[in-house]
Structure 1
Amino acid sequence: MGLNLRIIVHIMGLLLLCNGGFMLVAALVSGIYMDGATLDLAMAAIVTLLVGVMAMFYTRGHRKEVKRKEGYIIVTFGWLVMSLSGVLPYLFSGAVPSVTDAFFETISGYTTTGASILNDIESLPKGILFWRSLTHWIGGMGIIVLAIAILPLLGIGGMQLFAAEAPGPGGDKLHPRITDTAKRLWFIYVGYTVAETILLKLAGMSFFDAMNHALATLSTGGFSTKNGSVAYWNNQPIIQYIIIVFMFLAGTNFVISYFAFTKKIQRVIKDEEFKVYSFFIIGFTLVAFFIVLLQADVQISEYHPQVWGKTESAFRHALFQVLAIVTTTGFVTADFTNWTPFLTVFFFGLMFLGGSAGSTSGGIKVMRHLLIIKNGILEFKRTLHTNAIIPVRYNNKTVTEHIVYNIIAFFVLYMLLFIIGALVLAFLGLDFESAIGGAASSLGNVGPALGDLNPVVNFSELPAFGKWWCGFLMLLGRLELFTVLILFTPFFWKRT
């Protein structure tokens, strides 16, 4: 039996309806602020909705069965369809007149990368800025669905462990509890977004800025409404500390938040990934803090005496940038590439870490690093005890060899794609630092990079092919590599 193309097109139509609905919300925001882009956003929404309705209407007699092949196609093409339709608000309004630039900005949003080609963000209509932030939030919400309901069923390495911890997925078929699980995690996602919006508003942000930064934080996206990103509020530490808290939560497995809210605190405390994730944040922050304090110049907050101000500012900038890079949120309070050469390399290394599995973060993920390290240590024991069966254990459960091999393959493939990504960018004329920074940032969905793509610049000067290439890397990284790359293998398309 061949591919069930009708169900694939039907789901694409459903995604377009969702996208069109979100565009109407952006049009509403535009109308409230009377920014002149309301009609453009409404037209983009209508076009998207019409295409979605036609796709669903002509495939209404589809066979209600999604197998693995259809699953891979739906996940990959779903992100592409959302991104391609998501360019319409930019093009219709003239905010980003180039198709290449509009696609880059859109896919950077949906993949929650946060890299931008816009040079004057503050001049854009508020409706467009809100749409830009919404693309983050939609992408982050979609990743939760993937992690909970889809990737484990497709056999994507590493996510099976997360699925085992989540109160839902199991077996080869969708279980009714998966829907319940996704709803609960969406509720937490929305709740965190609302809570951060309120807190940022109380801390001194305008409601519009608070709402947009909450959307970007919880999705670990990083699009800001200010040209200087969060550095705009360097003299309002409380705003940056609020964002710090929610970046940490966004980079944590959302199931951990679910356990915390249901008073299963022991499950939170005993979770290995959460402990390692927290330890990494603390350890890396201390390293960055002492180097920033002793060697780098940071802006001293006007709210504190001179000595305490320098200490507090150094700690805040260090903690903020460590979290922004590890969780792949990508907000900026300072250009860390100008601090010291050591810290430039240090933060470049953090681009490969990533947050927790089951979070909205990009990157390799803490859990994969943890299991690779555990397996590496056990190899020494296996060398000494050649006949012993010594399995890798995670949260006191044995990890199957299949998952271990899959994670190792993922890591090797990730590094290979990083090298290829950097080589392509170098071939296009970028210098060494910019090429490796751009590849690592795009593949890890980080946002800021190095060299000519550093945190206070953007990707606007990339050649056209470079922007499409970085967009491809963003999609690869966001969808766990295998999901996209398997579509390029000849055996995937063979009839079975």
Structure 2
Amino acid sequence: MNKKMIRYIVGSIIMLEAALLLLPILTAIVYGEWNTLRVFAGSALFCIVAGALLRGKKPENTTIFSVEGYVSVALCWVALSICGAIPLCVSGVLQNPFDAFFEIVSGFTTTGSSVMQSVEGAPRAILMWRSFSHWVGGMGVLVFMLALLPMAGPSSMHLMKAESPGPSVGKLVPKVRSTAKILYQIYFVLTVAMLVCMILTGCPLFDSINLTFATAGTGGFGVLDSSAAEYGAATQWVMTIFMILFGVNFNVYFLFYVKRFKEGMKSEEARAYLGIIASAVLLISVNIFYMVRNLELTVRQAAFQVASIITTTGFSSVDFDLWPEFSKGILVLLMFCGACAGSTGGGMKVSRLCIMAKTVMKELAFIIHPRNVRKTRFEGKTVEHEVLRSINVFLVAYLGIFVLSVMLISLDNFDFATNFTAVAATLNNIGPGLAKVGPTQNFGIYSNFSKLVLAFDMLAGRLEIFPMLVPVIYLLRKKQLS
């Protein structure tokens, strides 16, 4: 294993975080929050020094393989979260280090689960840092670094594959760095478009910036305790539309970018994703209409919550924990579904579900006609056995982590609905769950141990399970061999 290169990458990420802290520093200056300014400035200085010491001189051997890619990504995200939690803890907003770590992990993984009792009294620089962490983590911090810096040549594709969500990740163009740049250009254009639309709806500038960062990263941190409930209808519709847009596979936008419109419109995953959203909105609207008695409001509330949950954004415009069980059941199912592969959303991904459904149909057809040879096809291509195997392994690992996490946090002795949806919300990077972790509640009720378990779930969910397991398995196997 190329340990020197792993250390170099982790150190580079920590130094990059110092640059990211410039935005909350600027926010503190604008709003005259001088104590908070000192906290962020000190945190940035710490990141520069710690990153430089860890980074050292660039190794002569910059080649990394799959295992180095997974280990680097896991360590980078943990280091990023530890350093990112420093301002939250030192500022006194979250004095418990476990709370600060949980909160910033939730930010970078675009989960949106919070332990803060109230956000309205927090310094604006802190709120900006929370929301900006969503935007940074949405596309991936290593993808961002690859877009800026040449890292490990062609082998840096292992970093992108380890960090990017979805059953398969490929290069849009021959060079990995060019692919990363294209992804961030699309991401930036969509972000600016949403910000302009939010301002045009009359949403305050500070709120617009924070909500845009949180929506773009499909995170869900807001600046009001009521999340998005107090904003006007136009603002909520803009948020709904852009939540859905950021949940689409960015490869589709790339096809539009290169004027391959027909190919982009034929995306099987995108059509399934939009079909699921339309069906869920229709079913929930019918189910809750008797409670609302207003067609536009009913559809808006249903569409907002469906878009928020399936894209794993986590905003709420209404306390959906008060909805009928049928509607809550649909939302829980959408938690597991997630958005498209290659988007900023979490969950199991629509592409995986489509491929698994097709695999089941193929096996059933094989039972009926044993001599009939059929191949699983998706997006017009034959799904390779390697992809099917990785999906099956992902599902087993996912279920194993889910069950173990529910059992571990059950030691806090909360009800099953709370524990089940808490793990579902964190492992799928949703944000709110039901019962005691519902849209009007928070995760502060859990013990420090449970918060660490849920923080691991957030990281595992954002990084698609394997990067968080590979370092553990590698160390165990190395210990056995020794």
TM-score by length of 2: 0.93
Are residues 1:150 and 2:148 paired? no
- How far 1:491 sits from its partner (Å)? 3.1
| Residues in 2 aligned to 1:206 and 1:456: alpha-carbon distance in whole angstroms | 23
Offset of 1:384 from its aligned partner? 2.3
Partner of 2:375, secondary structure, is: coil
Residue identity in the other structure for 1:287: L
Deviations 1:98-133 (A, max 9, x none): 101000001000111000011110111111111111
Report matched runs for 1:36-55 at 5 Å.
36=34, 37-55=36-54
- Alpha carbons 2:73, 2:142 under 8 Å: kept: no
Aligned-residue CA RMSD in angstroms? 2.1
Q: Which position in structure 1 is the counterpart of 2:468?
A: 484
Paired residue for 1:303?
none
Per-residue deviation, residues 181-213 of structure 1 (Å, max 9, x unmatched): 110110111111112112111211111110111
Report the identity percentage. 31
CA drift at 1:56: 2.1
Alpha-carbon distance between aligned partners in 1 of 2:107 and 2:345, rounded to the nearest angstrom: 13
Matched, 1:268 2:273: no
Shift in alpha-carbon separation, 1:230–1:200, aligned structure 2, 3 A: same
Please point out which of 434, 438, 446 is paired with 2:418.
434
* 2:120 matches 1:122: yes
Q: How does 1:79-94 map to 2 (within 5 A)?
A: 79-94=77-92
Counterpart residue identity of residue 16, structure 2: C
What letter is aligned with 2:439? P
Residue 215 of structure 1, CA deviation: 0.4
Among 236, 240, 244, which residue is 2:240 paired with? 244
Kindly indicate whether residue 10 of structure 2 is the aligned counterpart of residue 5 of structure 1: no
Specify the alignment match of 1:167 in structure 2: 172
C-alpha deviation, 1:421, in angstroms:
1.6
Where does residue 151 of structure 2 map in the other structure?
Answer: none
Deviation at 1:62, TM superposition (A): 4.6
Name the SS of the counterpart of 1:113 in structure 2.
coil
Partner of 2:150: none
Q: Aligned partners of 1:386 and 1:427: how far apart in 2?
A: 49
- CA distance in 1: counterparts of 2:296 and 2:302, whole angstroms: 10
**Amino acid paired to 2:350:** V
Gaps spanning 5+ residues in structure 1: where?
169-174, 298-306
Change in CA separation of 1:74 and 1:493 when aligned onto 2, cut-off 3 Å: farther
Q: CA deviation at 1:364?
A: 0.2
How far the C-alpha of 1:149 sits from its partner, in A, is 3.7
Matches of 1:376 and 1:53, distance apart in 2? 51
Give 1:495 shift.
8.0
Q: Distance in 1 between matches of 2:478 and 2:297?
A: 53
The 2-side partners of 1:453 and 1:11 are apart by 36
Please give the alpha-carbon distance, in whole angstroms, between the structure 1 residues aligned to 2:161 and 2:342. 15
Indicate how the Cα distance of structure 1 residues 400 and 471 shifts in structure 2: closer, same or farther if over 3 A, else same: same
Give the residue type in structure 2 aligned to 1:116.
Answer: S
Tell me the residue number matched to 1:464: 448
* Alpha-carbon offset, residue 324 of structure 1: 0.3
Partners of 1:153 and 1:250 in 2: how far apart?
19
Alpha-carbon distance in structure 2 between the residues aligned to 1:494 and 1:135: 38
Query: How far 1:159 sits from its partner (Å)?
Result: 3.1
Mapping for residues 17-416 of structure 1, pairs under 5 Å: 17-36=15-34, 37-57=36-56, 59-142=57-140, 145=143, 149-150=157-158, 159-160=167-168, 162-163=169-170, 167-168=172-173, 175=174, 177-233=175-231, 236-294=232-290, 296-297=291-292, 310-416=294-400
- d(CA) in 2 for partners of 1:227, 1:319: 21
Q: Contact 1:144–1:358 at 8 Å: present in 2 too?
A: no
Unaligned runs of 5+ in 2: 147-155
- One-letter amino acid matched to 1:150: H
Give the distance between the partners of 1:144 and 1:389, measured in 2 at CA. Answer: 42
- Using the alignment, how far apart are the partners of 1:399 and 1:27 within structure 2? 48
Query: What secondary structure sits across from 2:244 in the alignment?
Result: helix
Instruction: Give me the whole-angstrom Cα distance separating, in 1, the residues matched to 2:480 and 2:462.
Output: 26
Amino acid at match of 2:338: G
Matched residue type, 2:172: P
Q: Distance in 2 between matches of 1:216 and 1:193?
A: 10
On the 8 A contact 2:73/2:162 being kept in 1, the answer is no
Deviation at 1:158, TM superposition (A): 5.3
Structure 2 vs 1, CA of residues 155 and 46 (structure 1 numbering), >3 Å: closer, same or farther? closer
Cα 1:51–1:293 shift into 2, 3 Å: same
Is the contact made by 2:73 and 2:159 (CA closer than 8 Å) also made in structure 1?
Answer: no
8 Å Cα contact 1:144-1:185 kept in structure 2: no
420-429 vs 375-384, greater mean Cα deviation = 420-429
TM-score by length of 1: 0.90
Which moved further from structure 2: 354-363 or 395-404?
A: 395-404
Q: Distance in 2 between matches of 1:141 and 1:254?
A: 10
- Work out whether residues 230 and 333 of structure 1, in 8 Å CA contact, stay in contact via their aligned partners in 2: yes
1:448 aligns with one of 432, 435, 442: 432
For 1:227 and 1:349, how far apart are their aligned partners in 2? 26
Q: Once the 2 structures are TM-superposed, how far is the Cα of residue 145 of structure 1 from its aligned partner?
A: 2.8
- SS of match in other structure, 1:352: helix
341-350 or 220-229: which moved more? 341-350
CA distance in 2, matches of 1:343, 1:31: 45
> What does the per-residue CA deviation read over 1:224-259, in whole Å, with 9 as the maximum and x for residues that have no partner?
0111111121xx110011111110111001111122
Larger deviation: 481-490 or 10-19? 481-490
CA distance in 1, matches of 2:141, 2:4: 24
CA distance in structure 2 between the aligned counterparts of 1:266 and 1:260, rounded to whole angstroms: 9
SS at match of 2:223: coil
SS at match of 2:46: helix
CA distance in 2, matches of 1:493, 1:159: 30
**What is the distance in 2 between the residues matched to 1:207 and 1:120?**
21
Call closer, same or farther: CA 1:21–1:258 in 2, change over 3 Å: same
